Amino acid sequence: MPAVVAGQQAPLISEALVAPLAQELSGEAAKRNLEFLSRLHRMRGSRGFHAAIMHLAEQARSYGLADIHVDSFPADGKTFYGTQKARPAWDADFAELWELRSSGGRWTPAVRLASWDALPISLTEDSDSAEVEADLVDVGEGTTENDYVGKEVRGKIVLAAGQPGPVAPLAVARYGALGVLSYAQNQHTAWWGEDENLIRWGHLDSYAPFKTFGFQVSLKVGRELRQRLNGGEAIRLKATVRAARRPGYYEVLTATIPGADPRLREEEIAFSCHLDHQRPGANDNASGCATILEVARTLSKLIAEGKISRPARTLRFIWPPEMEGTSAWLNSRPALAGRIKGVIHMDMVGGGAVTKSIFHAHRGPASLPSFVSDVGQAVAEWVNQQSLAYASTGKAVYPLVAPEGSKEPLGAELAEFSRGSDHEIYTDASFAIPAIYLADWPDRYIHTNFDAAANIDPTKLKRAAFIGAASGHILANLSASDGPALWNMLVAGTMRRTGTMLDRRAALPVGEAAALTRFHWEFEQGVVSSIERFFKLPEPLRAQANDFLARLESATAGAGQPTAPSAGDGALVFARNPAVKGPMSVFAYDYFTDHYGPERAGNLRLLQYQGLRAAGDDYAYEVLNLADGRRTAQRIRDAASAIYGPVPLELIVEYLRALDSIGVLHQVR
């Protein structure tokens, strides 16, 4: 099994697999597919998205993949897929925004501020058709009532620093504006607002009962317009939009490499990404889509050439619209969802020095302990070592460098769970599918017109593909004979996590420290037990694992007693309603808020809470996962506190009761 490669052990894979993968995987091939995808404005249900699906399907056929299929699911604004309410499809034919000049008593076009043909990102997503001439009025951020005090916006276009989504209900629906011109900025990173030429992708509410439009301009243009307005100048604009929300379809492309073992081929390892995005959307997320396609090409070719064996379990590759497509597919294909033993999800895996990106190999949520995450992190750490050796000395057996790419070390961070992409649907307790999540963060150009193919590093794509391909091959072939090698790998992860636990424990009060310690060892036992999702754990190996964990737990004892035993509200027990599948907030739709009510949801204290390592939405995700019909509210509180930092019991109970009131949970009497 595992072989020594250049003085380092490649986890659970022999050189007979490492060498063919390293030789065949091509960052350039992945980037060629990425370049095609980045030419398309890939909104859900749009012509651009369909063109992307057709390209990937054609490539999959040429690579020899099997079971190539495009599933279509209604995207009509009404249909539910678990907790996801389908958004209507959206497409645009034409859009331009012009500044007008008065000449001879007539207004004539003078400066074009935005163009769909030139930059589709300049038209706000979910805009409706319009043909208007109107004055521009500055409303500052545009997201609060105070922004409109003393301003007449009826019949005008508002200039706003906020995203059109939260601006439109006030400016348009309440005060009668015709549309929104936004110069909203990107997510906050160290580079926030530094490049004033970036145009940020904008969104309107897909479900809004009123019709309006929006355009996006750069910070530079927005500041210039604002300065002119504040100086007393009148600015008149002409907006032409031909676009519409309409009933359509989510399209989800899948393909497989069938498993070789008759006993195991019905089990699957999935490779996931998300295909939809604005043009160019190169790192986010043409990179993930092109990289899992490169994994598929490489494995298929190596199998066909007899250089590697066909995996025992089936490998499935999935290209959906982000979140909503994954929700539709998992909820509509329960038999297939039940076959997936683990998922490798890639969302932004091609950034580098230009994008200021740091690569992360994330674990799944702490509520779902699984060795699957350890496999991905172990392979990523091996690539770290090989790439660092090469960058430092110019020598490594497997530098995994693309001819047209960089030579810097990968420097992958072995990170804890982070939400924000399709993997969080797989790992929701209603599906409970373990995940490896590979992603860049930060990325200074995410969601802007500068997220371009020119900024993508073929070496990074090759290394991400290697981590994915190797991890998938390991999981697809894993059997009881691999138990000892797997356990050796898990020991390193346990030791690393125990060190983190001890660091955090030292800063906590005695009761919280004890709760953290107890949850940590429950988690580590859960990681060992998760092996049985793949094969029955041999008793000698389970005994070895139990003995190791018991001795390590004894060596790290001394944290005192955890919080008081469950009593009162702390003794309440809740179980998940199996008919409601998926997390509460998915994408552009919040199931919890819609069913509980915006005002009541806004008053829930857990959702406003800020812990040591996460905000309220993160606590809420794990609290729902932890409500398994066995844990008391007190144990859920202790677990959530261990994961993200201490949180009051009453906030947990309040949220659990709210979930109970809308039928997501039910109280176990």
| Domain coordinates in residue numbering, the chain | 4-86+248-478, 89-245, 482-490+502-561, 563-669
The token pair at 484 is 């000892």
Q: What is the pLDDT of residue 564?
A: 66
Query: Of the candidates 388, 80, 46, which has an alpha carbon nearest to the alpha carbon of residue 249?
Result: 46
Cβ proximity of 20 and 300 under 8 Å: no
| Residue 496: CB atoms within 10 Å | 14
What is the residue type of 531?
A: I
Tokens 């990102």, residue?
A: 121
What's the CA gap between 532 and 545, in Å, rounded? Answer: 14
Dihedral (CA of 544, 549, 550, 555) sign: positive
Cβ proximity of 457 and 290 under 8 Å: no
SS3 label, residue 144: coil
Beta strand pairing status for 130-138 and 236-246? Answer: antiparallel
Hey, do 4-86+248-478 and 89-245 end up sharing a CATH topology, with the first three levels equal? no
Query: Of the candidates 149, 153, 152, 210, which has an alpha carbon nearest to the alpha carbon of residue 181?
Result: 153
**Torsion angle of C-alpha atoms 631, 632, 633, 639, degrees rounded to 10:** -40
Query: Of the candidates 409, 539, 523, 393, which has an alpha carbon nearest to the alpha carbon of residue 463?
Result: 409
Identify each DSSP E strand in 104-146 by its residue range. 106-115, 130-138
Cβ proximity of 584 and 620 under 8 Å: yes
Cis peptide leading into residue 442 (ω within 30°): yes
Tokens 């400066």, residue?
A: 111
Cβ proximity of 470 and 400 under 8 Å: no
pLDDT less than 50: residues of the chain? 1-7
β-sheet bridge partners, residue 241: 95, 130
Give the CATH number of domain 4-86+248-478: 3.40.630.10
CB-based contacts of 143, cutoff 8 Å, min separation 6: 160, 162, 163, 166, 167, 170
Q: How far is CA 596 from the centre of its chain?
A: 25
Query: Of the candidates 364, 452, 363, which has an alpha carbon nearest to the alpha carbon of residue 415?
Result: 363
Q: What is the pLDDT of residue 560?
A: 65
| Residue 506: CB atoms within 10 Å | 9
Query: Of the candidates 477, 495, 487, which has an alpha carbon nearest to the alpha carbon of residue 541?
Result: 487
Query: Of the candidates 403, 356, 300, 332, which has an alpha carbon nearest to the alpha carbon of residue 59?
Result: 300
SS3 label, residue 231: coil
Cβ proximity of 85 and 594 under 8 Å: yes
Identify each DSSP E strand in 560-615 by its residue range. 574-576
What's the CA gap between 65 and 63, in Å, rounded? Answer: 6
The reply to whether the predicted model has a pTM over 0.85 is yes
**CATH number 3.50.30.30 given to 89-245:** yes
Q: How many CA atoms lie less than 13 Å away from 122 in the CB half-sphere?
A: 22
Q: What is the pLDDT of residue 567?
A: 81
β-sheet bridge partners, residue 257: 315
The token pair at 105 is 């008593």
End-to-end CA distance of the chain: 50
Indicate left, alpha or beta for 216 from its phi (over 0: left) and psi (-120 to 50: alpha).
beta
Rounded to the nearest 5 percent, the helix, strand and coil shares of the chain are 40, 20, 40
Q: What is the pLDDT of residue 139?
A: 98
β-sheet bridge partners, residue 250: 73
Q: Dmax of the chain from CA atoms?
A: 93
b/e map 390-421, b = 16+ CB within 10 Å: bbeeeebbbbbbbeebbebbbebebbbbbbeb
What's the CA gap between 589 and 608, in Å, rounded? Answer: 18
What's the CA gap between 361 and 464, in Å, rounded? Answer: 10
Q: How many CA atoms lie less than 13 Å away from 454 in the CB half-sphere?
A: 3
Cβ proximity of 272 and 344 under 8 Å: yes
Query: Of the candidates 630, 634, 662, which has an alpha carbon nearest to the alpha carbon of residue 650?
Result: 634
Radius of gyration of the chain (CA): 26
Cβ proximity of 474 and 315 under 8 Å: no
What is the residue type of 143?
A: T
**Opening angle at CA 280, ends 275 and 286, nearest 5:** 35
Dihedral (CA of 166, 169, 170, 175) sign: positive
Q: What is the pLDDT of residue 8?
A: 58
β-sheet bridge partners, residue 342: 269
Phi then psi for 356, rounded to 5 degrees?
Answer: 60, 35
Cis peptide leading into residue 280 (ω within 30°): yes
